[in-house]
Amino acid sequence: MIKDKVVLITGASSGIGEAAAKLIASKGAKVVLGARREDKLKQIADEIKNAGGEAVYQALDVTKPADNEAIVKLAKDSFGRLDAIFLNAGLMPVSPVSAVKTDEWKQMIDVNINGVLNGVAAVMPTFTEQKSGHILAVSSVAGLKAYPGTAVYGGTKWFVRDFMEVLRMESAMEGTNIRTATLYPAAINTELLDTITDKGSADGMQQVYDAFGISPDRIADVVAFALDMPEDTNVSEFTVGPANQPW
Ligand SMILES: NC(=O)c1ccc[n+]([C@@H]2O[C@H](COP(=O)([O-])OP(=O)(O)OC[C@H]3O[C@@H](n4cnc5c(N)ncnc54)[C@H](OP(=O)(O)O)[C@@H]3O)[C@@H](O)[C@H]2O)c1
């Protein structure tokens, strides 16, 4: 049941994170919002509270371990416990390898991989001790197969897939009742394309999203479904995208 669950969401200031926060808060979850843009988080938390929900927020850079630990503390101080984390923060400055955009490669590795690891490290002691917890993460259809132009982005998302599956298996073996859910979205209309600096990649992606993109509310529905499953059941993978996109 979602109601009264305390759920920490990274990358909650726009797109999928914002949509998930609003939906699960409307279903009674107590949400803890993190991202770098504090003004956006405040606005979203205010909207949730005005609609009768419960939300707190704090500036979070997922690449900084101390920030991740601090927002877990905020969740526990505000609501007494933490039940789930939605590891959603991510960047997609895609380009062909021949463009050699090494700074963007590093940035994607830092946010999309290290950010996930930092979030997991921050919740693991709590979830292990309480023998329950739910870890949800966003990979991508680019984490399921290879697409030209997304060598590094895709690599970070393949990492998420492997890591989450091993985490699920180890949790079952260790009897810690830590459940996992990995989401593989296709084209979802958010701010994700804004960080693309390679013009050819930006134009190509924009065409795909213009042709196929659907609302982040669809991904929020899946997050809510996963959170709502009974404690004895793990639905570990969800591939979700526009019905007319042959991803
Ligand atoms: N949209 C799609 O088609 C699609 C498809 C597959 C997978 N995904 C994945 O879905 C996730 C959410 O993306 P989105 O589509 O909703 O795009 P978005 O609107 O750009 O949202 C990305 C979120 O990540 C946050 N973020 C970025 N760097 C961060 C950092 N260092 N620390 C903390 N937060 C950070 C951003 O907030 P701040 O800038 O305020 O920090 C923002 O809230 C990403 O992991 C993305 O790879 C999206």
Confidence band, pLDDT 50/70/90 cuts, at residue 3:
very high
Pocket test for ligand 1, best of 8, 9, 10, 16 (most atoms within 8 A of CB): 16
Atom of ligand 1 nearest to the CA of 188: 3
Domain around 177 = 6-233
Active site (annotated) includes residue 184? no
Q: Within a domain: residue 153? A: yes
Distance 232 CA to ligand 1 centre (A): 30
Distance 90 CA to ligand 1 centre (A): 4
Q: Within a domain: residue 185? A: yes
Q: What is the CATH number of the domain that holds 91?
A: 3.40.50.720
Distance 185 CA to ligand 1 centre (A): 12
Between 15-26 and 38-50, two packed helices, what is the crossing angle to 10 degrees? 20
Confidence band, pLDDT 50/70/90 cuts, at residue 6:
very high
Distance 102 CA to ligand 1 centre (A): 20
Q: Within a domain: residue 229? A: yes
Ligand 1 contacts CB of residue 161 (under 6 A): no
Q: Within a domain: residue 114? A: yes
Atom of ligand 1 nearest to the CA of 209: 3
Confidence band, pLDDT 50/70/90 cuts, at residue 130:
very high
Q: Within a domain: residue 127? A: yes
Q: Within a domain: residue 243? A: no
Ligand 1 contacts CB of residue 14 (under 6 A): yes
For the residues 188-202, what does the mean pLDDT come to? Answer: 98
Ligand 1 contacts CB of residue 213 (under 6 A): no
Q: Within a domain: residue 244? A: no
Atom of ligand 1 nearest to the CA of 36: 41
Q: Within a domain: residue 64? A: yes
How many structural domains comprise the chain? 1
For the residues 174-178, what does the mean pLDDT come to? Answer: 97
188 DSSP β-pair partners:
214
How much is the pTM? 0.99
Average pLDDT, rounded, for the chain = 98
